[in-house]
Amino acid sequence: MRAVLERDFLVLTSAKKYVMLRTAVVAVMAILAVAILLTMGVVGSIGRTSPDDIGRAVFTGFAVAFPILVLVVGPALGSGAIAGERALDTLQLVLAAPVRPGAFVLAKFLSRLGAMLIPLVGGLPIAAICFLYGGISVSLFVTWMGLVLALASIAAASSILASAYSRSMSGAITLAYFLAVVVPLLESWLSCWLLWDVYVGSGPSWIASHTPVVAFGTIIEAVVGRGTTRSEVWPFFVAAGLGSIVALALASARLSREAASLASAGPRRGRTVRTIFRNPVLDRATLGVPFRRAGVGAWATWLVIGGLTWLIPLVADFDDDAIIAGMNIATWGTAIVLLARSSQAISVERQQGSLALLCATRLSAGEILRGKLLGLVVHGAVLLVPAIALAIVGSWHGVKSACLPAWLASTGVALLLFSSIGLRVSSTSATPGRAAGMSYAIALGSLVAHGFALLVAGMAGAWKSEDLMAALVTMSPPVNVTMASVSAQHGASGGSERQFLAWGLFWSVAHVILSLGLLRSAAVKIQTDDE
């Protein structure tokens, strides 16, 4: 176990660039927050900034930046733990050695936890600046660290669980993000909807109160002690601890049954799949959609996304907003799946050596990339089928029919952008794990960064400035999707909604141009795949 732990920790932290990048991201986000908070003068509400307020601002910056980073990076780090070894056939070697599965899983967990927390240690001295100014009690600081630790532990444990149960790296990564990010997110989403009935108004404030950042924000607010008491975080700590233990136990149980499951993977003999497309890369990329050699995972993904799409509308008796919410869940779910798939599309081929074979054939890099992209389109389209059906059902219930085209168009842009990011990262990544981590970091990072900006803007009292809001909100493709369908549903009547639509359009065009650029450069990278 020591050996596994040491090796993994060294490998994970040896890429100095990554560690430094992570630390830098935290620092930049925090410094940005501090700067905005200070210049906006929010902290000194009377107009004069006291040292206490500066201290609190510095702390809030870190308090917000860190959990976000943990949840963005964590699943990517953890999901390679077992699935990666399985893909490289090194898992057999480890299992053949006298290592107990429990110890192995624990080692994987601790190394990931350690790698995630390195930036925390690096950032601590800066965060501790807040003590120079005061305003933050030691116990608050410690509680915050506990929160980060709890989040890191959830992220690491759930992604290792995902890793243990997935056959492929891309499956592991998708499942890991689903467990670590989407489940808590949906949970807050659903509980908001079902229990607290905050779901009153539609439009910006509704979206703003449902971003992941706000979900963490409520926890962090509890830590900072504004309005709620700190004792509220204890259930979270306990839940995180128990959840992690259960996840690790399940993972090691799965690992002890590893040998039994090895044989079952792969296609069954004699069952050929008919070719549909002329481009062989495209034809192959469509394997795994339902009825084209779809495994259990593919069906499960389809059912989960379809189920979540329909859940809220069903509960809400096909209320207008609920239908839009359902459609947007489909967009988000599909975006996460496509991001994983696209990030694996080229990197896996490189790892197994088939990329060289492809490049040596008469297929051009453009054809290879087009095949991969169109394959992703097919996968995305299949995942969106329940949402389209929902929109049609919705139109019987009186939802404006303009909603569907607006949603389709903006969803298309969002998925194109996410797929392009994944393919571009994939075209230069050394390993599939790294490709996935990087893609999610970029895509979710942009999402979170936008939400982060919103949070800061909100704290700064900039909510009223609709220009700023519209520009910020629509910057992030999935949010843009939500905006587009909401606006289409309500008819862009008000000045603010028209502003949102205009910005949305602007960003959509920008995203398409960006995507094309990314794809182009990915094709060039495939062509000159040297190292």
Partner 1 sequence: MTDTPQVPPQVPPQVPPPVAAASLPVAAIQTIGLTKVYRGVVALADLDLRIEKGDAFGFIGPNGAGKSTTIKILSTLVRPSGGRAEVCGVDVTQRPDAVKPLIGYMPDVLGIYDDMLVQEYLEFFAAAYRMRGLTRAKKIDEVLELVDLTGKRMEPVKGLSRGMGQRLGLARCLLHDPAVLLLDEPAAGLDPRARIEFKELIQELRRQGKTIVISSHILSEIGEMCNTIGIIERGKLLFSGPITEAKRRLGQEQGRVVCVRVTEEGDDGRSTTALLDLFRGHPDVAAQREGGRGEVLIRLRDGVVDTSFLARDVVRAGLHLIHLAETEMSLEDVFMHVTKGQVA
Q: Give the integer Cα–Cα distance in Å for 158 and 79.
A: 9
Pattern 246-265, binding to partner 1, x per CB under 8 A? -------------------x
Residue 47 main-chain phi, psi, to 5 deg: 105, -10
Nearer to partner 1, 80 or 371 (CB): 371
Can you list the pairs that 119-126 forms with residues at least 24 positions away whose Cβ atoms lie under 8 Å?
Answer: 119/19, 119/22, 119/23, 119/26, 119/66, 119/69, 120/66, 120/145, 120/148, 122/19, 122/23, 122/26, 123/23, 123/26, 123/27, 123/30, 123/62, 123/66, 126/27, 126/30, 126/62
Angle between helices 466-475 and 477-490 (to 10 degrees): 120
User: Could you give the CA distance from residue 201 to residue 124 in angstroms, rounded to a whole number?
Assistant: 40
Rule CB under 8 A: is residue 281 a binding residue for partner 1? Answer: yes
Q: Hunting for tokens 């963005």 — which residue is that?
A: 72
Nearest to 330 by CA among 350, 372, 302, 360: 302
Supply the DSSP string of 294-350, one letter for each residue: --HHHHHHHHHHHHHHHHHHHHTTS-HHHHHHHHHHHHHHHHHHHHHHHHHHHHHHH
Cα separation, 384 vs 380, whole angstroms: 6
Tokens at 392, concatenated: 């049609």
Q: Which of 24, 198, 273, 389 binds partner 1 (CB under 8 A)?
A: 273
Nearer to partner 1, 48 or 362 (CB): 362
Nearer to partner 1, 201 or 267 (CB): 267
CB half-sphere exposure, 38, CA atoms < 13 A:
16
Binding range to partner 1, per CB under 8 A, among 251-259, 346-354, 439-447, 503-511:
346-354
Residue choice 352, 465, 467, 516 for contact with partner 1 (CB under 8 A):
352
Over the window 502 to 531, marking each residue x when it contacts partner 1 by CB under 8 A and - when it does not, the resulting string is --------------------------xxxx
Q: In this structure, what DSSP letter does residue 505 have?
A: H
Compose the 284-303 pattern: x for residues touching partner 1 by CB under 8 A, - for all others: x--xx----x----------
Q: In the complex, what is the shortest distance from the CB of residue 265 to partner 1, in angstroms, rounded to a whole number?
A: 7
Give least dist CB 16 to partner 1, A: 17
Is residue 357 a contact point for partner 1 (CB under 8 A)? yes
Q: Which of 69, 284, 336, 304 is nearest to 177 (CA)?
A: 336
Our CB check for partner 1 shows the closer of 294 and 311 to be: 294
Q: Does 16 bind partner 1 (CB under 8 A)?
A: no
DSSP characters over 41-69: T-SSTTSS--HHHHHHHHHHHHHHHHHHH
Closer by beta carbon to partner 1, 492 or else 526:
526
How far apart CA 403 and CA 526 sit, in angstroms, is 39
Write out the H or E segment, with its range, that includes residue 226.
none
Stretch that binds partner 1, among 349-357, 422-430, 463-471, 482-490 (CB under 8 A): 349-357
Q: How far is the CB of 414 from partner 1 (least distance, A)?
A: 28
Q: Give the residue with the Cβ less far from partner 1, 466 or 529.
A: 529
Which of 47, 227, 353, 495 binds partner 1 (CB under 8 A)? It is 353
Q: Select from 125, 235, 270, 495 the one that contacts partner 1 (CB under 8 A).
A: 270
| Shortest distance in whole angstroms from residue 357 CB to partner 1 | 5
Place of tokens 């492809």: 358
Cβ of residue 40: shortest distance to partner 1, in angstroms? 47
> CA dist 131 to 25, 62, 134, 316, 359, Å?
22, 13, 5, 48, 58
Closest distance of CB 162 from partner 1, Å: 20
Decide whether 279 or 395 has the Cβ nearer to partner 1.
Answer: 279
If we measure between CA atoms, which residue out of 522, 457, 509 comes closest to residue 480?
509
The correct pick among 98, 235, 266, 495 for binding partner 1 (CB under 8 A) is 266
Q: Which of residues 360-419 bind partner 1 (CB under 8 A)?
A: 360-364
Q: Which two tokens stand for residue 210?
A: 């449902």
Choice from 358, 438, 455, 479 touching partner 1 (CB under 8 A): 358
Q: Which of 16, 48, 271, 464 binds partner 1 (CB under 8 A)?
A: 271
Binding residue for partner 1 (CB under 8 A) from 44, 102, 243, 280? 280
Decide: is 267 part of the binding site for partner 1 (CB under 8 A): yes
Contact residues for partner 1, defined by CB under 8 A = 265-273, 275, 278-281, 283-284, 287-288, 293, 352-354, 356-364, 528-531
